[in-house]
Structure 1
């Protein structure tokens, strides 16, 4: 493989393109373990990066959201976007699309048979960071001209070399938790953020359950300051004597701007030892 991906080939809610530089740096500092297991594979960007930095390592990518199907549909998605591009011709970039043109776009989408990559389509016609999973959801939204000017590049090599599974993260963890040289990549949906495009609905209990996989393991864990999960674990450790899964973990922070009015802090925590207290 010759291409080094710094972002996923298709839009994906929560992909880690803003943290790839720091992630690569930390991976490069360490001797490659025998195994990386990406519990919440998402767009596959963490798995792809781990394999590129340490090609001799085994990297297990949990494609629970079926990103593979979206990659395979790129030619069809390009055809659909090409037709939408014609419909929005003359509309300024990022400007609102009037209802007549919106109706024509919806009608064009409705003509498609079989699989439609609604996440990619919606990223081209909805306001930044907004996504829809169905034509019914699209109909409820205001449209904006964010249609890309060229085709999406084919990404047939994107998942090359990865071992791909599609199972619940808890089951995957049980399969590898006792492997001596495993490092878990843990990037669950963020607490207190929009999780529209994820397959399952996440409750507070679900977010906290994820922390169990960190205890006694080597890992990279991703969160944001919106979740306050790091502070919560520190409080539990200080006030109850409970185990803090982030004990002795290294923390890296990066400010992310959503738009000119709002931002949040992305957080990466990692630990290369199995110390728990």
Structure 2
């Protein structure tokens, strides 16, 4: 049986690179002598999955710092809970607000489920909250207005992790383990500056110095780096290079595209590659 090729993450994840899959794959197909791909900020694992499917001969390491794999392991339970909630929304039009009495019933089902097992609130958010909004707890879900945004069909992660080596390490530790391998390609999708990060496990603010640490690390390596036009990191690198001959992102190629958060908001996604 032919394995499924993923073009998006199997469960919702803020910052998933589904809009960049084609360009990322195109860049990977141009990579020269590489035997190892290290996804340092693995997120949903989509980039690592695409890398393995594109370059199956390579060792691909997915650094799952946010333990996305725990959410994947509970897909069956998440689907079951959504099946319980779905009948409550049958008479509510798509993308319309859920009446208070229906919301109370949905919350009751969620709370009942939470008493038995951990609830994947990020996935529930995609079905019950306005596009781009996220909850990470029952309390956060209860405070927000619900909308009928139920997905059609079950979530499925069959074979998603096949062939990937999953790590749960600080990115610097993983980088140090592979930095001397001249045939390694590093994939980096760190939290964006000026971006809301409350949907991530670690709700600590990603500061400018953290980004500069990353850029300094990769100067002598092959890499594919993702950032956002909001961060203005490219302008900062240009200034540092001109003023202090820093050499940041030297020899790289830049790709840009607009990515949409919802019907009202979009941002510029940037991919920078040196391969």
Equivalent pair of 1:222/1:266 in contact (CA under 8 Å): yes
Gapped runs of 5+ residues in structure 2?
none
List aligned pairs for 1:124-273, cutoff 5 A.
Answer: 124-152=127-155, 154-200=156-202, 201-204=204-207, 205-244=209-248, 246-272=249-275
Equivalent pair of 1:71/1:156 in contact (CA under 8 Å): no
Partner Cα distance (1:241, 1:228) in 2 = 18
Equivalent pair of 1:252/1:269 in contact (CA under 8 Å): yes
Partner Cα distance (1:140, 1:209) in 2 = 37
How far apart are 1:210 and its partner, in Å?
2.1
Equivalent pair of 1:6/1:20 in contact (CA under 8 Å): yes
User: Secondary structure of 2:220's match?
Assistant: coil
Equivalent pair of 2:260/2:266 in contact (CA under 8 Å): yes
Equivalent pair of 1:253/1:266 in contact (CA under 8 Å): yes
Partner Cα distance (2:120, 2:212) in 1 = 31
Equivalent pair of 1:125/1:143 in contact (CA under 8 Å): yes
User: Secondary structure of 1:264's match?
Assistant: strand
Partner Cα distance (1:44, 1:203) in 2 = 20
Equivalent pair of 1:36/1:57 in contact (CA under 8 Å): yes
2:79 is the alignment partner of 1:74? no
Q: Structure 1 pair 32/243, CA: closer, same or farther in 2 (3 Å)? A: closer
Equivalent pair of 2:132/2:262 in contact (CA under 8 Å): no
User: Secondary structure of 1:257's match?
Assistant: strand
Q: Structure 1 pair 261/117, CA: closer, same or farther in 2 (3 Å)? A: closer
Aligned length: 270
Partner Cα distance (2:264, 2:4) in 1 = 35
User: Secondary structure of 2:149's match?
Assistant: coil
Q: Structure 1 pair 2/123, CA: closer, same or farther in 2 (3 Å)? A: same
User: Secondary structure of 2:26's match?
Assistant: helix
User: Secondary structure of 1:268's match?
Assistant: strand
Partner Cα distance (2:42, 2:63) in 1 = 5
Partner Cα distance (2:117, 2:216) in 1 = 39
Partner Cα distance (1:157, 1:26) in 2 = 24
2:14 is the alignment partner of 1:13? yes
User: Secondary structure of 1:61's match?
Assistant: strand
Partner Cα distance (1:215, 1:259) in 2 = 35
Gapped runs of 5+ residues in structure 1?
273-277
Q: TM-score normalised to the size of structure 2?
A: 0.94
* Equivalent residue for 1:123, pick from 123, 126, 129: 126
How far apart are 1:32 and its partner, in Å?
5.3
Partner Cα distance (1:269, 1:61) in 2 = 19
Q: Structure 1 pair 203/54, CA: closer, same or farther in 2 (3 Å)? A: closer
Equivalent pair of 1:32/1:54 in contact (CA under 8 Å): no
